[in-house]
Chain A
């Protein structure tokens, strides 16, 4: 059942690099990460790659396989033909550290800019009551394993370094949506999503949803509803008129 596959792996650092060809053994049931590990154990002991769980749960082994953002541990070799050349490159949106490892600190910076969960101030631990149907919306987004494939593929930042400053990316806009839909969160996050985190940059092309290994409907369930809420708040002329006529705010 074994055969020799043709791998082309990007080797290099922040300065320079190139694709290196490796013929490498493949056995039944293996995934791309197994092949990378075989290279490490045989001819490329210093080949840099991130990985942890090898079961699609930690989101560490993100890379681009034949140009597609994927988790290497969840990409089965049986999805390629035996004669196909398999090209493995680092995530393009983030600076390379070495080989397949990139500097993903952009994501941690953005994570820190999203205001945290704000519980009702007088609610004691143990007193939280929420219905399953109400927590499920946010729970979908909390399935996120932070592999950053959506951040990597989003065209707002993929080829536009200049947008990184003002755009949190799908993962962290989804985080805002998650908190906004949390049944007990008391913060108002809509204005901020638009003004501080760049929600307006997103033009719902759904690239993020397509690459999500957790199959989270990022665009449909997080980003579009968040956009709708922002629009309600900011531009709805009826709300504005109502607040003027009845002299109350935010009806």
Chain B
């Protein structure tokens, strides 16, 4: 009936030292955010017995923090929208470094994934004719984001959570057991993946509440653990975002790509200090909010880069007209992709034109009526009122960049989301490639749905392909995992350090030396410091018991944070150009010779990584033809464009208009 539960006896000398609870499943999904839940729903619907491992309580995932919306070219507000326009916007946003196949699948499938949520019970805001309403967002040509006020992520998590429950109810009706085919393991952290014969065999972790260990035997594992932002001091990410999936994948022998690309969201709160970094949704700008410096100037007009010159307004008047007449005006530069806006804010503050607390002003009060603001941005209104004592209907907000999203992640096969390790899949923020060097706002929620579903399907197909022959977990691997997890307690007797102190040091190092603007000498210093932090991470110690002990949890998370920080720093030092979420003070220009190069990272032992360069696969010709040659020339080297329709036309003497 319920999950198979047996005890492992500690009979052999190299076995684990305590009884370890054991479960068997077809598919294990690590992570209960949008991607994880969508993957689990799919795996269960494909007939696979599925477990969802949630680091927090079910329904608390970081996805709830997503505010603005979910991008899908349904064309409900502007009928000119379609997948090709969305695809182009996504590639432009990522500066053409994206895995184009992922971007293609994403643009094509996003509308179906959103509509599907309505059948699960989601209630999006509506257009006048009763369809799903769509809003403007940075980098999107047309109003494209399905949303619910400014709490879209919460709506998605709740909808998916409730879909899982409805599947459990179905199983209950048939078997009398809610958890017969899909079970959620709350507050459970996975610390190790197991392989046998090079394939995934299972994983190991602990229950937070009891500190007891648990082992899962399963041939397919989907990583959906989110990002790495907790390695930074100023971040919009919660304590869970310690790069667990990235590190688990590395230690299992998989590879990461694009780790140098981190998105600093341009608008995080800057005051008071205790909330520094908390997100201020991009919808504030999508709905008319403007950025001003201490001189009252709308400075974004000074920061429109050449590649975007044709698409953005050059005067405030034109920018303002765009909100009501988008077809005949160009959009205001406040809605440039996030990397551009974050850099601009950084420059203004550096030039001494910042706000009193080191940010700039985001003004919605002078742009919309108080009633409109409260209706469209209710949670922003409350957030500022309750945390900063600022009434955003009366005064501007102070905002500055905050570490928000990692574009880099597990290198996967686009259609199935399988990593280089057979049986190991990744979806959502933990997967790399989809967003290239910079993610557009709204493309994360759609990414979760599209690739969450694909991961569930991929895992189910993989399990079928094994034809019943499942790799067996080796008992000494279990013992080793147990020993590593208990290390912080034994270090205590040798007087190791407080993990909170080491974490602070790591966050400060990354923030100061591998932050939004990067320099070679600083990153070299960061790598040195990380070496020292690695030694200290191995010997951090904790006091007390194993039940819900945050010190112990952090001690184990720390090694993941360290490993991903090494990846970010190494890749950032290697890439000698500026592109998207990677800005080099010493190499300020984008360089076409770097566009087609991927930096691939793999683990060397517990706390070192190796980097190799790899060529990006060339875009399929019919996709390349969706762009005008003139635009591509800004990103591509000459020899890469030979196959373009205009190039071939030019060869035959016909000029493209």
- Interface residues, chain A, with chain B CB atoms under 8 Å away: 13, 27-31, 34, 40-41, 45-60, 74, 76, 97-99, 101, 103-104, 108, 111-112, 115-117, 119, 123, 125-126, 128-132, 135, 138-139, 142-146, 179, 182, 185
- A145-B126 in contact (CB<8A): no
Whole-angstrom distance between the alpha carbons of A223 and B56 in the complex? 30
**What distance in Å separates the Cβ of A143 from its nearest Cβ neighbour in chain B?**
7
Within 8 A of A (CB), among B68-116: 111-112, 115-116
Contacts A54-B278, A99-B548, A142-B123 supplied; 15 other A-B pairs, CB < 8 Å: A48-B549, A53-B62, A53-B65, A53-B238, A56-B382, A57-B151, A98-B548, A111-B165, A117-B162, A128-B115, A132-B125, A132-B133, A139-B148, A139-B149, A142-B154
| The 9 residue pairs across chains A and B that have the minimum distance between CB atoms | A29-B272, A117-B121, A46-B544, A116-B166, A129-B130, A45-B551, A48-B548, A125-B115, A126-B115
- 22 of the cross-chain contacts (CB-CB < 8 Å) are A30-B274, A45-B551, A47-B550, A48-B550, A51-B238, A55-B387, A56-B383, A58-B60, A59-B60, A98-B548, A99-B548, A104-B57, A108-B58, A116-B166, A116-B169, A126-B112, A131-B126, A132-B133, A138-B123, A139-B123, A143-B154, A146-B59
Please judge, given known A-B contacts A29-B273, A74-B387, A98-B547, whether A131 and B382 are in contact too, CB under 8 Å: no
Residue B64, interface by CB 8 Å: yes
* Contact of A116 with B162 at beta-carbon distance under 8 Å, contacts A60-B56, A125-B118 already known: yes
CA distance A137 to B71 in the complex (A): 25
A30 touches B272 (CB 8 A): yes
- Contacting residue for A46 out of B209, B388, B551, CB 8 A: B551
B383's nearest neighbour on chain A, judged by CB, is A55
The residues in B between 383 and 410 inclusive whose CB is less than 8 angstroms from any CB of A are 383, 386-388
- Distance in angstroms from A138 CB to nearest chain B CB is 6
Binding site for A on B (CB under 8 A): 56-60, 62, 64-65, 111-112, 115-116, 118-121, 123-126, 129-131, 133, 148-149, 151, 154-155, 158, 162-163, 165-166, 168-169, 178, 186, 209, 238-240, 271-275, 278-279, 379, 382-383, 386-388, 498-501, 542-545, 547-552
Is A52 within 8 A of B240, CB to CB? yes
Give the distance in Å from the alpha carbon of A101 to the alpha carbon of B550 in the complex.
Answer: 11
The answer on a CB contact under 8 Å between A28 and B379 is: no
Cα separation A10 to B543 with both chains bound (whole Å)? 18
Neighbouring B residues of A144 by C-beta, 8 Å = 158
Contact A34 B274 (CB under 8 A): yes
Of A45, A59, A117, A142, the contact of B120 (CB 8 Å cutoff): A117
CB-defined contacts of A129 to chain B, threshold 8 Å: 129-131
Q: How far is the CA of A104 from the CA of B60 in the complex (A)?
A: 13
Write out the residue numbers on chain A whose beta carbons fall within 8 Å of the beta carbon of B272: 28-30
Chain B residue at minimum C-beta to C-beta distance from A49: B550
**Chain B residue at minimal CB-CB distance from A148:** B57
The complex places the Cα of A71 from the Cα of B432 at a distance, in Å, of 35
Which residues on the A side are within 8 Å of B500 (C-beta)?
A: 40-41, 45
Instruction: Report the bound CA distance from A80 to B266 in whole Å.
Output: 33
Cα A129 to Cα B115 in complex, Å, equals: 11
Interchain nearest-CB distance for B113 vs A (Å): 10
* B274 near A27: Cβ-Cβ < 8 Å: yes
Contacts of A139 in B (CB 8 A): 123, 148-149
* A52-B278 in contact given A29-B273, A46-B543, A132-B126 (Cβ < 8 Å): no
Measured between beta carbons, the chain A residues less than 8 angstroms from B57 are 50, 60, 104
Question: In the complex, which residues of chain B have a beta carbon less than 8 angstroms from the beta carbon of A29?
Answer: 271-275, 388
A139 to B46 CA separation, bound complex (whole angstroms): 31
Are A57 and B64 in contact, with the CB atoms below 8 A? yes
Query: Chain B's nearest CB lies how many Å from the CB of A122?
Result: 12
Q: Using Cβ atoms and an 8 Å threshold, which residues of chain A touch B130? A: 129-131
Of B131, B386, B544, most buried by chain A (CB within 10 Å of CB) is: B386
Report the minimum CB–CB distance from B151 to chain A (whole Å): 7
- B387 CB contacts on chain A under 8 angstroms: 31, 55-56, 74, 76
Give chain A nearest CB distance to B401 CB in angstroms: 17
A40 to B119, CA, bound (A): 44
B549 lies within 8 A of A46 (CB): yes
- Tell me the nearest residue of chain A to B179, going by C-beta: A112
| Chain A, Cβ-Cβ closest to B163 | A116
Q: Can you name the residue of chain B whose Cβ is closest to the Cβ of A100?
A: B548
CA distance A28 to B274 in the complex (A): 8
Please indicate the chain A residues that have their CB under 8 angstroms from the CB of B542 in the complex. Answer: 45-46
Q: How far is the CA of A229 from the CA of B388 in the complex (A)?
A: 42
Could you say which residues of chain B place their CB within 8 Å of the CB of A112?
A: 165, 168-169, 178
By the criterion CB–CB under 8 Å, are B112 and A182 in contact?
Answer: no
How many Å from the CB of B174 to the closest CB on chain A? 15
Q: A45: which B residues are within 8 A, CB to CB?
A: 498-500, 542-544, 549-551
Contacts of A99 in B (CB 8 A): 548
Residue numbers in B under 8 Å from A115 (CB-CB): 169
- Say yes or no: A55-B275 contact (C-beta < 8 A), given A130-B126, A145-B64: yes
A55–B278 contact, CB under 8 A?
yes
Q: Which of A28, A41, A53 has the largest count of B CB atoms less than 10 A from its CB?
A: A53
CA distance A41 to B503 in the complex (A): 10
- CB-defined contacts of A104 to chain B, threshold 8 Å: 57
Inside 8 A of A130's CB, which chain B residues have their CB? 123, 126, 130
CB-defined contacts of B124 to chain A, threshold 8 Å:
135
In angstroms, Cα B35 to Cα A190, docked, is 34
Which residues on the B side are within 8 Å of A50 (C-beta)?
56-57
**Given A40-B551, A45-B550, does the pair A116, B165 have CB atoms closer than 8 Å?**
yes
Considering the chains assembled together, what is the distance between the CA atoms of A49 and B549 in angstroms?
9
Q: Are A57 and B58 in contact (CB under 8 A)?
A: no
Contact of B279 among A41, A55, A58, A131 (CB under 8 A): A55
Q: Is the CB of A182 within 8 A of B121?
A: yes
Residues of chain A within 8 A (CB-CB) of B278 are 54-55
Contact B126 A135 (CB under 8 A): yes
Cα of A165 to Cα of B158 in the assembled complex, Å: 24
Contact A31 B274 (CB under 8 A): yes
In the assembly, what is the distance between CA of A23 and CA of B129, in Å? Answer: 59
Expressed in whole angstroms, the minimum distance between the Cβ of A90 and any Cβ of chain B is: 11
- Give chain A residues whose Cβ lies under 8 Å from the Cβ of B149: 139
Whole-angstrom distance from the CB of B464 to the nearest CB of chain A? 26
B residues near A119, Cβ cutoff 8 Å: 119, 121
B148 neighbours in A (Cβ, 8 Å) = 139, 142
Report the bound CA distance from A34 to B276 in whole Å: 12
Residue of B nearest to A185 (CB): B121
The CA of A25 and the CA of B647, in the complex, are separated in Å by 67
Decide yes or no: A125 and B116 within 8 Å by CB, A34-B274, A54-B278 being known contacts: yes
Inter-chain contacts of B238 with A (CB < 8 A): 51-54, 58
Residues of B within 8 A of A51 (CB): 238-239
